[in-house]
Structure 1
Amino acid sequence: MAREPSVSDDEAIGDDGTDSTDDGSNDGLLNRRSYVKLAGVTTAAAAATLPGAASADEEYEAITARGQVITISQGETFENKLIDLTTGNTVTLLVEGGNSVIRNVGFEGLHRGSGFMISITAPSGNVLVENVYLGDGSTKEGGSHTHGPGAVFMHRNANCDVTFRHCNVQGYPNNGFYCSNTAYGGSARFESCYGKNNGVSTFRVAGGNDAIVDCVAYNDNTDYGPGWGGYVEDSGRPLWVWPGGTVSIENSEFAAGSYPYAAVMRGSGSARMTGGAIQGQVQGGGLQRSGVSSSADRSIPGGVPTSAREAATGESSDDSSPDEGTDDEELPHLLLFEGDDSGVSRYEFVVDGDVEPSTHDGATVDDETEIDDGTVHGVVADWKDAFRFDGDLETLTVDGPATAYLDGEEVDPDEYGEELPHALEVEGQGEPTSFEISVEGTIELDGEEDDETTTISGSTVQSSVTDETLTFRFSGAVTDVTILEGDAVVSVDGEEIDPDEYGDNELLPHAILIDGTGTDEPTSYSFTVSGHAVEATFADLTIDDEHVYEDGVVRGVVGDERDAYWFDGGFEDFRLLGDATVDVQYNARDQ
């Protein structure tokens, strides 16, 4: 018969869903007692003053663990660090601010300290944790908590959106990725991450915006060294979903190993899994499966570092990397887009030869990048995208703060083809027809035309036709075409398109604006509508297809700025904590 789980369901979790602490507070696992025990606090910007230095031939800085907390504040990047844990002490990376990055960091040696290695408390914004190695394991020798130390903890008061990409976490007694507090706000997204033998759980999630994509988690008999293992937390749930929302899981592999369950849905916890495999039992009835096999592939996903030094240097262990085996003579040119953390940039270029993605200079390969017969569309923020190609670069457009480099030299996109290379035509069919069209980049009415009924705001145009034809020039790709009433023929670069194939979101009728401008402190808010909600850009209220709330539940934080949403249905719940003002306009499109 199956043995009882080695880890209880309670896991010393308080009734509010956070870890209980000895002093009764709800500050989570990095509380006042933890701070007192640590030797000191520093910031990411000052980390270079810590013991250890980069050698002349190594592209990283060595940091010796001595119990310090390294604080990563708003907009900061902490990268290319090798953290030496062989001292028997610990280092905690405390992420206090959004729009921050941890990249190319390796923790070397069996950890014998206390607490969590990465602790996230950022109240808003995005956080990227990329190419991090925590794979040498941890013992319970130095930890005062019941379950010992853990790898990553996202606090309940964190309301940021965290992306974990290419992370390797193994052998931590108190969770690998402890992110179930997303039930209260924020989100956790895992891309090509690997974990095994983590006590309690490897992937611990809850929020409806959480996602696990191309990841692997399982348990085996790995021995990480003297002092490790032999306690109940040396193997836990590969996947543990807590109540909150429906978690999205794609093409991921989970295997039970020495723990009887490969996946556990706690209480009303739910997830929707497509592709991949679950090898072992599933506890709870909240898992929806489509195309999921029972034989898990336990190999390390491409791009995940397999050692601390590999992570610190930014090298990739991905044998299938697009740069592997590529002959520079066959694809001699390199086009690199270096993003900027001040905003997202969309780019497009066309070459008259072959093109493929590259990992040159630490660039990442994004599965969402579109490559079609020499034409490439992509998005870059605080990272790099790179491509190798042959032939000539015919056109290049960049919408946003990113910088483009061709063969190592910065280039001006305006020097390559037209600034707005595509033509969009809307041809009336004899009856009054209103339409709204959005593109990824910029759109303008053709320079030779003048139409007073046309309104253009950034990447969206609204207008009407009867029996005439309106022509627009634009960059990027068409993302949404909506014929509000009537009939029209829409063509892109001379080819007729079907408007029904563009855009997944109908034009919702009502608008809500949360205005935090002029306030001293951030305002948190949440609301539930009986229909759908979609995030919009303030002023022009254009739809953001990447932030759609099909369940009608929206949570956010607004500082000295404005957040806006389109929605349908009525309000079922609304909560506001702070001084922001709220304005609701029903049937706003008719005003």
Structure 2
Amino acid sequence: MAQNPRSSETDTTPTADRNSGLHRRTYVRSLAAVVTAATSLGAAGTAAAQDEDDYEVIEAANQEITIEDGETWENKLFDMTTGQDVTITTLGSDWTIRNIGFEGENTSGAGSATFGISDAGGSSTIENVYLGDGSDDRNGSSTGHGQTAFWVNPDHAGHIDMQNVNIQGFADNAVYGSAPGNSGGGTIHIDSCFAANCHVSHFRLATEGSKVTNSAILVDEDGYAGRGIWAWAPGTIEIEDCQIEMNGNHTAIDAGANGQGTEVLVRDTDYDDQAGIVEHAGSSVQLEDDSGTDPEAFIPEGTPTSAEDAAAGDA
């Protein structure tokens, strides 16, 4: 469930009444610009243009929010300075989550997953999300290590595209996407995303067709030190055009878990050779094309660097 997602690879996410217990205040941000045209041949003219960005500010109050089949849910800024939690669960297929920001560290200590996601057989999208303020290390759950940013339901059977997502400083996985490997078999494509200083792992995937592209991972002295990319069975997992800068911490690419091997294909990617590559239980990591060991992590273009930019769609 979204509150307690990590007890096993076969847990399921419960449904919840949409926006139950929701306490919110609406904030409309307007930006107006006046453009004055130059005069010509003695005639003067002026033009005015207004660009308005609207988003809703929601105070975290332990609410559970459900995104329904086919729904587009966008332009929200969550105020996490309340010290409470929020969990967001998706149902059905072909939903879209975009322009969502979380301002302030999650200090609820709930040990939940902020997002519990799955697609029943179609294709869904997550884009322009900021979770860069992280969480503390308390854990009210009986499993895991604390707060997870994204947990993928084992029943996930479709496809989810994640693009321009910024996740930093979470006490558990940034993207826990390995559970469908034992059940639904759905795929995840992480593209143009940034993850830094999370515990356990940053991007954790299992199913054939799942991949990480054009993304970066950073582990430095500021926060937790989990694996860069953790590939589970059955695979094959693809990694392409990525920068995995671990600064000698943990493992850059970790293949295999729980006595089961997997395959990983790595193309045009730089990884930290001190953290290195580990192959468990007969796993294989194949380095192809121009892969190397001189990573420089970066926040991909279009990925938000603040909660407000994400909510407004200004990245």
Cα RMSD of the aligned pairs, angstroms, is 2.1
| Cα distance between partner residues in 1 of 2:104 and 2:248 | 24
2: CA distance between counterparts of 1:84 and 1:160? Answer: 31
* Matched residue, 2:11: 27
Q: Distance in 2 between matches of 1:27 and 1:211?
A: 23
Task: Give per-residue Cα distances to partners, 1:409-464, cap 9 Å, x unaligned.
Answer: xxxxxxxxxxxxxxxxxxxxxxxxxxxxxxxxxxxxxxxxxxxxxxxxxxxxxxxx
Question: What TM-score, normalized by structure 2, do the two folds share?
Answer: 0.82
Cα gap change, 1:50 to 1:42, in 2 (>3 Å): farther
Range that drifts further, 120-129 or 155-164: 120-129
In the alignment, the residues of structure 2 paired with residue 260 and residue 109 of structure 1 have an alpha-carbon distance, to the nearest angstrom, of 27
> Secondary structure of 2:308's partner?
helix
Tell me, in whole angstroms, the C-alpha distance in 1 between the residues paired with 2:80 and 2:158: 28
Query: What's 1:53 paired with?
Result: 26
Q: How does 1:8-87 map to 2 (within 5 A)?
A: 19-20=6-7, 26-28=10-12, 30=13, 41-43=17-19, 50-57=23-30, 58-87=53-82
1:299 corresponding residue in structure 2:
298
Counterpart secondary structure, 2:18 = strand
- The alpha-carbon deviation at position 269 of structure 1 amounts to 1.7
Gapped regions of structure 2 (runs ≥ 5): 31-52
TM-score, length basis structure 1: 0.45
Distance in 2 (CA, whole Å) between partners of 1:293 and 1:26 is: 36
- Asked if residue 170 in structure 1 is aligned to residue 163 in structure 2, the reply is no
The structure showing larger relative contact order (alpha-carbon pairs under 8 Å, at least 6 residues apart) is: 2
| Bigger Rg, which one | 1
- Could you say which residue in structure 2 is the equivalent of 1:133? 130
SS at match of 1:182: helix
Q: Secondary structure at the match of 1:300?
A: coil
* Aligned partner (choices 107, 111, 129) of residue 112 of structure 1: 107
Superposition map of 1:314-325 within 5 A: 314-316=313-315
How far 1:120 moved relative to its partner? 1.1
Counterpart for residue 155 of structure 2: 157
The 5 A counterparts of 1:180-579 are 180-183=178-181, 184=183, 185-222=185-222, 234-257=224-247, 259-266=249-256, 267-280=260-273, 281-284=276-279, 285-290=283-288, 291-316=290-315
Q: Matched residue of 2:27: which SS?
A: coil
Q: Percent identity?
A: 31
* Structure 2 counterpart of 1:127, one-letter code: S
Partner-residue secondary structure (3-state), 2:137: coil
Counterpart CA distance in 1 for 2:272 and 2:56 is 40
Mapped partners of 1:262, 1:75: distance in 2 = 36
Show CA shifts across 1:185-240 (max 9, x none): 110001100001111100001111101110111211225xxxxxxxxxx2110110
Give the distance between the partners of 1:204 and 1:190, measured in 2 at CA: 10
Structure 2 CA distance for aligned equivalents of residues 213 and 82 of structure 1 = 27
Partners of 2:85 and 2:6 lie apart in 1 by 20
- Is 1:100 the counterpart of 2:95? The answer is yes
Q: CA deviation at 1:56?
A: 4.8
User: Deviations along 1:90-118, whole A, 9 cap, x unmatched?
Assistant: 11110112100000000110011220011
| One-letter code aligned to 1:273 | V
- Measured in 2, the distance between the counterparts of 1:274 and 1:106 equals 31
Equivalenced residue count is 275
| Separation of aligned partners in 1, 2:167 and 2:123 | 21
Once the two structures are superposed, residues 63-105 of structure 1 have per-residue CA deviations (whole angstroms, 9 ceiling, x without a partner) of: 1100111100101011010011111111111011210000000
Q: Quick one: distance in 2 between partners of 1:210 and 1:289?
A: 17
Q: Secondary structure at the match of 2:126?
A: strand
> Unpaired runs of 5+ in structure 1?
1-17, 224-233, 317-591
Counterparts of 2:79 and 2:265, CA distance in 1: 39
C-alpha contact 1:143 1:149 (8 A) present in aligned 2: no
1:258 to partner: Cα distance: 5.2
Q: Distance in 2 between matches of 1:153 and 1:129?
A: 13
Structure 1 moving runs of 4+ over 4 Å: none
